[in-house]
Chain A
Amino acid sequence: MEQRTQEFLAYVQAGGQAEATDWLPDEYRQRLIKFVEMHANSELMGVLPEREWILKAPTLQRKLALTAKVQDEVGHAQLIYRVAEDLGKPRERMFDDLVSGKAKFHNVFHYPTYTWGDVGVIAWLVDAAAIISQKALLKCSYAPYARIMRKICWEESFHILHGRDVILALMTGTDVQRQLVQEAVTRWWPPLMQFHGNPIRREDDPMWIWRIKSQGNEEARQQFLDGYVPQIWELGLTVPDPKLRRRDDGVWEYTEPDWDELRSVVTGHGPRSQDRLAFRRRFLDQEQWVRDTVLAA
């Protein structure tokens, strides 16, 4: 390893942060772009399952809240794409790689939504899992990314309350409504357990080595379980995992998530992967004239 790369590595491992105009090792820049790009893609694709429900929201207030949330998430995508773009990958190429299936986005956004219960569970638990990862990015070694995460986490705090409110409205409603939530929790549990990735030791995870992430995958999952399983249980909901339990030492035990499913889903073989990419492709084509006009100015 080149001397200044070694120095940079030692610097970030000691908690140091780099700025956009600093020299960055090639490997760091490439890994960072890949990570940031996937995050941006996930924000952009992540609005699609919820967008489907704007027209079907049960009340005007829910429709407005959901619209605001979708607007926020697209805004997050814009902020994050900007970070990746500044690191050297043109935005148009990121869009091309997204719609051609070359670049990835998070597993949870490849699944269908069947009922308003799914919308509640996405806003509550999927967002909760995402916030755990995003909060860990507040300490990212790349400072411009860490700084925009402050704004993003601030907005996410409203999203998660909105999600809890949707869930609580259903849980204090009729038996049919409670059943919608239970069915959605049952459907979303496996993808939620896969969300933070395989339990690779953080010392072996390049994202941790370069301090792009400040925690390991399993740490994030444990944090999610610790924060949210009690919340699920207290509402009288059941988690579809007979092995799930909190040991006396505070560590959660669970059935091994299906890592093959995770790999298959994030490589474009999820139940809604292709539909959602086709949708995104259609809108990129449809709005090409806007980008052409702006760039020609």
Chain B
Amino acid sequence: MTVYEVFRRERKGQPFEHAGSIEAPDAAFADTWAREQYGRRGESDALWLVPRESIHEITEWADEFDLKYRRVDGYSIKARLAEARERASVQGRGA
């Protein structure tokens, strides 16, 4: 028996989303089974059946360096902006 992960797409152009899994002895059975469980009501435009063991999953991420400078959350401008505005208002606008 093989476990297949089932991904379904509602409409063309949309992403495939994980829907569930089925267990089947072969691909033909998996095909019938998946149609019955995930497409019977016309709720899917397409299905992907992927043997679970064929999925190469990545969940571990190296985080040795602080790489925040590449991201929005690496910049906190609020306090600095307030300070700059304060300074400008004390000194008067422009020169």
Contacts and interface: CB of A to CB of B under 8 A. Distances in A.
A20 B43 CA distance: 24
B25 A151 contact: no
Interface string B20-34: 111101100100000
B41 interface: yes
Interface in B28-62: 29, 36-38, 40-41, 43, 57
Contacts of A71: 40
A137 B21 CA distance: 18
Contact of B21 (A86, A151, A294): A86
Interface stretch (A74-82, A109-117, A126-134, A160-168): A74-82
A82 B20 contact: yes
Contacts of A151: 19-20, 38, 43
A228 B23 CA distance: 39
B6 to A, nearest CB: 10
Interface string A286-297: 000000001101
Contacts of B18: 147
Interface residues of B, number: 18
A158 to B, nearest CB: 9
A134 to B, nearest CB: 15
A86 B18 CA distance: 15
B37 A75 contact: yes
A226 interface: no
A82 B41 CA distance: 19
A294 B25 contact: yes
A295 B37 contact: no
B19 A147 contact: yes
Contacts of A27: none
A295 B3 CA distance: 14
Given A75-B37, A151-B38, A82 B22 contact: yes
Given A21-B57, A295-B25, A297-B26, A148 B19 contact: yes
A3 to B, nearest CB: 19
A114 B18 CA distance: 42
Contacts of B40: 71, 75
A81 to B, nearest CB: 10
Contacts of B26: 297
Given A154-B43, A297-B25, 6 more contacts: A75-B37, A82-B22, A147-B20, A151-B19, A151-B20, A297-B26
Interface of A: 20-21, 71, 75, 78-79, 82-83, 85-86, 144, 147-148, 151, 154-155, 294-295, 297
23 contacts: A20-B21, A21-B57, A75-B40, A78-B37, A79-B20, A82-B21, A82-B22, A82-B23, A83-B20, A85-B23, A86-B21, A144-B20, A147-B18, A147-B20, A148-B19, A151-B19, A151-B20, A151-B43, A154-B43, A295-B1, A295-B25, A297-B26, A297-B29
